[in-house]
Amino acid sequence: MTAPHAPTPSQTIGPFHGHALPVVDGGAIAPVAHPETITVHGYVYDGAGEPVPDALVEIWQPAPDGSRTGAPGSLRRDPVTGRAAGRDGVTFTGFGRVATDADGRWAVRTLPPGGVPYLSVALFARGLLRHLYTRVYLWEEPGDTLLASLAADRRATLLARPEPPRTYRFDLRLQGAGETVFLEFSGAGRP
């Protein structure tokens, strides 16, 4: 690339994003009381097996009808006070954002994605020079090229474990035993 359009480098999110980025209802992607709602939850662990209490998990996914346009309203603010207002409870935006708690735990409530079996994840944390991408596979589909390309033990790190009813467990391991498969997309989109 030539210099004028050379990409801006990434830098760590640091430990103090918590008063800026997480919001009320950030993990409440599903409309309120929607009967198809699923819960996806888990922990983030570091290479020493310790929970990561200052990570940020972002989710992006198609709507149940397969639409990938998304919709505004994930991070609504109250114009009266300037504070986070929460979602409108109706719109499915396709986007979620949650911080891990002091135990390294995160959870979102959403609707199953249409057309694909996975939720896309961007994971940010102090100590990561750049965020990491991965996918939460809620079920396996025979034609999925990513899953098909992975050895069984690596593939297993992308498969959420069903915890009926309508709940899935997905842990993220940054390093070491059971390290989650993390993704890069520089070659995606080619014909």
Q: Name residues contacting another protein, limited to 59-78 (CB under 8 A).
A: 60-62, 68-78
Dist. CA 175–CA 41, nearest whole Å: 19
- Give the three-class secondary structure for 92: coil
- Give the three-class secondary structure for 19: helix
Q: Which is nearer to Fe ion, 13 or 160 (CB)?
A: 13
Could you tell me the smallest distance in angstroms from the CB atom of residue 55 to Fe ion?
16
Which segment (10-18, 76-84, 128-136, 151-159) binds Fe ion by CB under 5 A? Answer: 10-18
> Peptide bond before 165: cis, by omega within 30 degrees of 0?
yes
Which segment (9-17, 32-40, 79-87, 159-167) binds Fe ion by CB under 5 A? Answer: 9-17
Dist. CA 144–CA 140, nearest whole Å: 8
Q: Decide which of another protein, Fe ion, none touches 130; Cβ closer than 5 to 8 Å per partner kind.
A: another protein
Q: Which is nearer to another protein, 122 or 164 (CB)?
A: 122
| 18 touches 54 (CB < 8 A) | yes
